[in-house]
Every structure is written in structure tokens, then in C-alpha cells.
Amino acid sequence: MAVRADDFTVPPDTGHFPGSGMEQFHHPRPVCAGDRPTPQRRRLLAGLAGRVVEIGAGDGVKLTCYPADVEEIVLVEADPFLRAAAKAVAASLATPARIIDGDLTRLPVPDASCDAVVCSLILCCAPRTAETLLEVRRVLRPGGELRFYEHQRSGRRVTALAGSLMTPLWSRVSGGCHPARDTVAAIQHAGFVVGSLDRFAFRHVTHVLGVARPV
């Protein structure tokens, strides 16, 4: 099982934090506040164990935030610059971490080989969200989980319309991000059941943080 009821504790790889880091390079919000992960990253990773795949490297500092029960981290990143940055962080970790090249629609990970997949501000940038989520399902073991922290279309009609209208410009300057996508619906349509979900606003844009399991 990927989830346990334990509260998040400071992971063993945090003797020092190399800066505040970022969730994704195209969304440079921090993963660390001082010497601890941010509340969002703590909740995203809380209780994870076993082998975990995360899609998107940011600058690699997120690797320092994983809890002690994670036995291996596989970080999939297409950009060579970000892979190099993540490898520099991974070299100082106690937890084994592999940084590998991979596309959002073709994860270089064997079928049913991981306990959890973490997606943080990456599904909003996937050219074909459905294909990415099918890949996530493919690599998860039975009982595995998708942990997600993503943009989400607003539940308010006017705000949702405004988000759709601003998407073309926003996408150009934010790495292909589509902030008005209905990410939760996409996850459900891909054959997942959403077990827990929190909605909140960050800089006036709706976000969701939750856990889903394949049916």
C-alpha cells in the first residue's frame, strides 16, 4: 500500500535544504519553506512508501521532501537541463533516486511497477492529458495511488470563462499550462476514483490536491 495513516515527519534526506526549490520550472512556487517542505508538498507526499514515480523535475529540490518509507524515487523529466539539476540533488540523498528521460505520454517505467505516481502542476501542461493518465494507470501496481496537485477549472461560471479566455496567452508564458482544465474530471474519465480532494485558490487560480486510485 502507498498510503499510511502516519503524520508526515521530516524525511531523512533533509540535513540541509538546497534553497526553497520549485514544484515545476514553469511554475516556480517553492517546495520548501525554511527547512521544511511547504504544507502542500507535505500533504502531497504524506504516508507514501515503496517505489514512487514523480513526473516533472522542477529543479530537483522536491526530491529532498520525500518521507522515510519511500524506498526508491523515479523522477521522469524530458528536459536535459532539469534532469542535470535533479541529478545533482539526488547525489546527496540517502533514498535511491533515478532521474530518467521520458515523455508525458510514454513513461519509461514497466507496467504495474510502482506504488504511487506523483503529478504536481504537470497535468495542466500535458498535450494529451488522457494519454498521460493512461500511462499513470499502466505503471501503478494494484492498490497504487495517483497523488496530484494541479490547476483546476473554477466552479464559478464567469471565472471559468475568464480562465478559458486567458489560456492561450497564459500557455505561451507558462510552459504550455492550461489553468482552466477540468483536471478532476479528466482523472475520473481515465478510470480513477478520487478518494480525497481539497480545492483552494492560489493567486486567484483554483487548484486541487488529492488522491485517486484506479478502478
Which pLDDT score, from 0 to 100, does residue 163 have? 61
What is the domain range of residue 96?
32-214
pTM: 0.84
Question: Residue 112 falls within a domain, yes or no?
Answer: yes
Q: Pairing between strand 114-120 and 50-55?
A: parallel
21 is a domain residue: no
Digit-coded pLDDT (tens) for 189-209: 999 999 999 998 877 778 999
Distance CA 95, CA 99 (A): 13
147 is a domain residue:
yes
Low-confidence residues of the chain: pLDDT under 50: 1-17
Instruction: Give the domain CATH number at 184.
Output: 3.40.50.150
The pLDDT score that the predictor gives to residue 82 is: 94
Q: Is residue 208 part of a domain?
A: yes
Query: 99 has which bridge partners?
Result: 75
Residue 81 belongs to some domain of the structure: yes
Q: What is the total count of domains within the chain?
A: 1
Alpha helices in 35-128 (DSSP H): 39-45, 80-90
- Residue 2: the pLDDT is 43
Would you state the pLDDT for residue 181? 86
Residue 7 lies in a domain: no
pLDDT tens digit sequence for 134-175: 999 999 999 999 999 998 876 666 665 566 656 555 555 555
pLDDT recorded at residue 155: 61
Is residue 203, in this structure, part of any structural domain at all? yes
